[in-house]
Amino acid sequence: MDLPASLFLHSLTLTVSDRMKNFLCAALAFVILGPAIAQRKASPKQKTVIEKGINAPKDNEALQKETLLKQEAALHKIDQLIQSNETEQALALIQNELTKNPSSGFTIVLENKKSEILITLGKLTEAETLLLAVKQKDASEFLQAITLTNLGNLYLNKGRNDLALESLQSALTKFQNTGQSNTKEAAQCLANLALVYTYTGKYNQAKDNGLLALQIRQQLFGENSEETAASYNDLGLVYTSADPDKALEYYDKALPIYERLHGNTHPKIAIANTNSGIIYRQLELYGDAVNNFETALAIWKKIYPGGHPNEAFVLSNLGQTYVKMKNVKAAEEYFQKALTIYQAAYGAKHPEIASTLNQIGTLKLTEGKYDEAIQDFQKAIIANVNNFNNTNTEKNPAIVDFYNGYVLLYSLRLKAEALETRYGARSLKLKDLEYAMASLHSCDTLIDNIRHHSTDESDKIALGEQANEVYEDGVRIAQSMSEITVNSKYYRETAFYFAEKSKSAVLQEAIADANAKSFAGIPQALVEEEKRIKFSLTFLTQKLSQKPAAEEEKYLRESIFNLNREYNELIKKLENEFPNYYNLKYNQAAPTIAHLQKALDAKTAIVSFFISESHHRIYQFIITSKKFTIRNLTLPDQFDRLVKGFSNSLYYSNSNIFNDTGTQLSKILAPHLASGIEELIIIPSGKLGTLPFEALPYRRPKDNDFNSVYYLSSRYAISYEFSAGLIAQKSLEPAGSESSTIFLCAPVQFPEKDNLNDLPGTEKEVATIAGLFTAAATSVVKHDEANESRVKSNDLKNFSYLHFATHGVVDENDPEQSRIFLNTNNEEDGNLFAGEIYNLDLNAKLAVLSACQTGLGKLSKGEGVIGLSRALIYAGSQNLIVSFWSVADESTALLMTDFYKYHLQQKMSFRKALQQSKIKMMKEGNFSAPYYWAPFVLIGN
């Protein structure tokens, strides 16, 4: 680890001016001893040394300057040797300096340098022994931070991401405590944290840390420095999975800098070629990938003739590339070579060993060598769990003390897949399916573990997409077992369990977290502190999304980074100091069939869907108060086109396409229910989250027009829910405000900047609805009063009904930028973003958004539709009415007014009231086509 960047902005020699000499001496003294003095934590011995230096006679002062300059020159030479990969010479120079009996601070600096080299050489045990000894020494907080950063790097190389994270977070805190958070050392700590977060699947946190490290390095060293190139490389790693093109862009920035500094035969060149090769493989440019890997391999062989983990990494990637090229023999040879080198370097346990064994096992599985494949996956599990060594493939480890959770998740899932395949292809032994289910249950526990240790919602949602593959396997195997075992009920319920775990887990956890804060006895001051941080984060994130100038972007990223750290520390404090909060937050059991049946009356059914795209199946889980059944149907090849075509037929009122697509969809989506069922709660899956089920034809139309259709909405009153877990949560919550108070909001006219049509019909809409409530229970804001500040006030929590008659827009790429349009004032811009809605404090029985497309959003596997609906549910609205597309304000006003009349005057439930409003519209006037009534859906119970 180098000294602060201020010492290396220019090439330093011993011929600098006296003024620069004084600066260098002071700077080096600060690095070795100074931060402790600044924090008033220096040892008496350290204080004495510095005070003597300050008050020393001239001869003594000159001697001290000379010593410090010599030490600085030695450190500079060591850094040059490290950067040029002359590691043996660097080690010799360090050893030479240590023989000169240097001060304790300079000794720690040298020993940290030595540990860096040992880590680079793959001598991890020796590096660990050295660093643990250094950690015990009396040192300034700044030097402690450097040691912890190197320890974090060591643990990163050992595959102990948990220990790496602990060391690096502690180091970062110490850098901040000493006012050194913008130094080269702090940037290295941030870069290492970015790698830890990348390897543990927390890509959003990885990006934040990586970008902050890049900013610091660019400011300290300039665009064409080694340090800046390192940050480009790290950011390429972060983006590799999510955005290969963006990753390649970063790698292409790093490589020319490395080539200019080091020529063509250097570790950094090998690393850059390897990373680019991975991207080329993802882009299916296999020839380019192989060329890059071969270039990297030649460099590593030249530098480390005896083998090195970096060489093994390249060999493994060559193996993966040849798998894509269908050359199984070559792939297996490369994997075996990689495994041999990894085992020689790391011993028996390391996540890279586990990852390589996963690759070997997958090859054997494709060759039909099922027993060998299962053994390889078991070996991979053993290599990735600290205290698990059981080679019996029937056994799985407890989900604790593992090295890399994502690699372990892959091993367990592959083992389940191999067992299932062996059952179907050869054994027909039920035990194989039972062991496969056991592995998938271990996967489920591991997914919960990983999610609980992630603090960023985007990362949790990304995990949900990977977890969905596990749950797809679980649903399929459990449903199959329900048909071939005597314990059919257990396996049908297990299939439902896995289907349910695939839905809105992050939203459920967020709601559980909010509820836990209410019931765990947390002091109000801490609750307010959390709100303050979240409001600040939302505000700064919105600013950052507006593509600010470079200086403002730098400030915003630093501020967001620091607020995220502050928030994470606060949550950790709450979890540690308030056990009830932790238990209420995380001990949320998935609802059982029996639990859900108790929550249903005799006339209501839950119909939950699960789509298995890889196996072309669609499952219906149908739950009534007395019965639970599963329908397992074939998913049509053109299913997505059918869904899109059906929605378009409604929007464009095309009865021909409606009859064709609607009839096909009804065969697989319309539930088969007993005659007594009148109401449905539909839990959609995937694309079904944007489909208005009410408009499906319940019977095939006799004529080719909309008026002859008997719609599903005519047969059933329908609502939707994100998951059965939310149904269970709501059944345990108070019913919200019991009063019939309503807040009605209609901007009517919109600023020119928003380029939106005015909505004159909404003024009559809110006036008519207001007339259904008592004057004392009604608050109507229109025109200029319908502004963002008014909506953000704390008043909204006092209303049981919220009605927004305005425009809305959904951003499917960035859901938090979805917004409701209001009027502006001096304080706000009139855009109520989804990210801001999350921070509202609501207590509403119902929120209505009679606006454009407010029911849409980004479709995410494992979470469903992410947009305004999700934000309002989290903010505290128990039920919502939203729309899938824009409809004329006149027909919307008519539907909404009828809805409130049926609900308030005839005491109908929300489901029944919306159903009757739609039926009335079907039968009367100019708005009978489903275009006018189908987009409005109820989310809730």
Last residue of a domain, one of 701, 727, 753: 727
Q: Which of 882, 877, 897, 874 is nearest to 796 (CA)?
A: 877
pLDDT of amino acid 202: 83
Mapped to the 3 state alphabet, what secondary structure does 566-605 carry?
HHHHHHHHHHHHCHHHHHHHHCCCCCCHHHHHHHCCCCEE
Tens digits of residue pLDDT in 324-364: 999 999 999 999 999 999 999 999 999 999 999 999 999 99
Please determine, for residue 729, whether its predicted confidence score (pLDDT) is greater than 90: no
Domain match, 703 and 774 both: no
Residue 780, H or E segment: strand 778-782
Length of the chain: 941
Query: Looking at the structure, do residues 842 and 721 belong to the same domain, yes or no?
Result: no
Give the up-direction half-sphere exposure of residue 769: CA atoms within 13 A in the CB hemisphere. Answer: 34
In a domain, 499, yes or no: no
882-939 pLDDT, tens digit each: 988 888 778 888 999 999 999 999 999 999 999 999 999 998 878 999 999 999 999 9
Mean pLDDT of 524-550: 77
Reading phi first (left if > 0) and then psi (alpha if -120 to 50, else beta), residue 540 is in alpha
Task: Note whether 479 and 490 are within 8 A (CB).
Answer: no
pLDDT at 603 over 80: yes
Of the candidates 577, 601, 619, which is a domain's last residue? 577
Mean pLDDT value of segment 634-640: 91
Please give the structure tokens belonging to residue 203.
């890509």
Task: Give me the pLDDT at residue 861, please.
Answer: 62
Q: pLDDT at position 586, please?
A: 66
- Tokens describing residue 719: 């609502």
Within a domain: 75: yes
**Is 396 or 723 the better-scoring residue by pLDDT?**
396
Of the two residues 100 and 481, the one the predictor is more confident about is 481
With a cut of 90, say whether residue 215 has pLDDT above it: yes
Is residue 210 included in any domain, yes or no? no
pLDDT band for position 546 (cuts 50, 70, 90) = low
**Mean pLDDT, residues 147-169 taken together:** 91
Q: Residue 43: what pLDDT?
A: 41
Q: Are 541 and 817 in contact (CB under 8 A)?
A: no
Asked if 642 and 658 touch (Cβ cutoff 8 Å), the reply is: no
Q: In this predicted model, what pLDDT tens digit does every residue of 114-145 receive, in sequence order?
A: 999 999 888 889 999 999 999 999 999 999 99
Q: What is the rounded radius of gyration, in angstroms, for the C-alpha atoms of the chain?
A: 32
If one counts the domains in the chain, the total is 4
Q: Cα(922)–Cα(926) distance, rounded to whole angstroms?
A: 9
What's the mean pLDDT in 247-269?
92
According to the model, what pLDDT value does residue 440 have?
97
In a domain, 474, yes or no: no
More confident residue, 633 or 858: 633
CA separation for the pair 920, 924 (Å, rounded): 6
Estimate the crossing angle of helix 505-519 against helix 579-586, to 10 degrees: 150
Confidence (pLDDT) at 808: 84
Residues 551 and 652 in one domain: no
pLDDT higher than 80, residue 495: yes
Among 562-571, 713-722, 764-773, which stretch is predicted with the lowest mean pLDDT? 562-571
Lowest-confidence segment of 359-373, 391-405, 881-895 by average pLDDT: 881-895
Q: Is residue 203 one of the residues assigned to a domain?
A: no
**Residue 582 confidence (pLDDT) above 70:** no
Same domain, 707 and 817: no
Number of helices and strands (H, E) in the chain? Answer: 39, 16
Higher model confidence: residue 340 or residue 514?
340
Q: Dihedral of the CA atoms 18, 24, 29, 31 (nearest 10)?
A: 170
- Angle between helix axes 524-545 and 550-577 (nearest 10 degrees) is 150
Statement to judge: residues 614 and 759 lie in one domain: no
Domain range enclosing 101: 1-158
Q: Yes or no: say if 433 and 490 are a contact pair by the CB < 8 Å rule.
A: no
pLDDT tens digits, 425-445? 988 999 999 999 999 999 999
Q: Write the pLDDT tens digit of every residue in 805-833.
A: 988 888 777 777 788 888 888 778 888 88
The pLDDT, as a whole number, for residue 456 is 67
pLDDT tens-digit series, residues 465-483: 788 899 999 999 999 999 9
The proportion of the chain whose per-residue pLDDT surpasses 70, expressed as a percent, equals: 87
CA 353, chain centre distance (Å): 26
Tell me the torsion sign for CA atoms 374, 376, 379, 384: negative
- Rounded CA separation 663/204 (Å): 43
Neighbours of 811 (CB within 10 A): 17
Say if residue 462's pLDDT is above 50.
Answer: yes
Residues 910 and 667 sit within 8 Å (Cβ to Cβ): no
pLDDT value of position 862: 58
Q: What is the pTM of this model?
A: 0.78
630 and 717 together in one domain: yes
Res. 3: pLDDT tops 50: no
| Residue 412 pLDDT > 60 | yes
77-90: b (≥16 Cβ within 10 Å) or e: ebbebbbebebeeb
Pair 127, 19 in one domain = yes
8 vs 187, residue with greater confidence: 187
**Mean pLDDT (whole number) for 722-727:** 86
Which residue is it, tokens 């089920």?
693
What is the pLDDT, as a whole number, of residue 50?
Answer: 41
**Confidence category of residue 684, pLDDT binned at 50, 70, 90:** very high
| Residue 413 within a domain | no
Q: What is the model's pLDDT at position 857?
A: 62
Which pLDDT value is given to residue 4?
Answer: 28
Residue 455 reports pLDDT greater than 90: no
Q: What is the CATH number of the domain that holds 670?
A: 3.30.420
CA atoms within 13 A on the CB side of 745: 29
CB 87 within 8 A of CB 121: yes
With cut-offs at 50, 70 and 90, classify the pLDDT of residue 584: low
DSSP character for 687? Answer: G
Lowest mean pLDDT segment, chosen from 112-121, 508-517, 699-708: 508-517
Asked whether the predicted pLDDT for residue 541 surpasses 50, the reply is yes
The predicted pLDDT at position 738 comes to 55
Does residue 918 lie in a domain region?
A: yes
Q: What is the DSSP string of 527-563?
A: HHHHHHHHHHHHHHHHHHHT---HHHHHHHHHHHHHH
Inside any domain, residue 289: no
Which pLDDT does position 540 carry in this prediction?
A: 79
AA letter at 761: G
Same domain? For 18 and 153 the reply is yes
Does one domain contain both 786 and 691?
A: no
Residue 795, pLDDT score = 86
Are 769 and 791 part of one and the same domain? yes
Mean pLDDT rounded to a whole number for the chain:
85
Q: Domain check: are 716 and 753 in the same one? A: no
Per-residue model confidence (pLDDT) at position 22: 36
What is the three-class DSSP state of 744? strand
Give, for 743, the enclosing helix (H) or strand (E): strand 742-746
pLDDT tens digits, 278-323: 999 999 999 999 999 999 999 999 999 999 999 999 999 999 999 9
Helix intervals (H) in 733-879? 761-770, 788-792, 834-837, 868-875
The per-residue pLDDT for 10 is: 26
Range 71-79 average pLDDT: 87
Q: What is the pLDDT of residue 463?
A: 79
Task: Indicate if the pLDDT at residue 838 is higher than 90.
Answer: no
Find the CATH number of the domain harbouring 743: 3.40.50.1460
Q: Are residues 622 and 761 in the same domain?
A: no
Q: At which of 105, 137, 158 does a domain end? A: 158
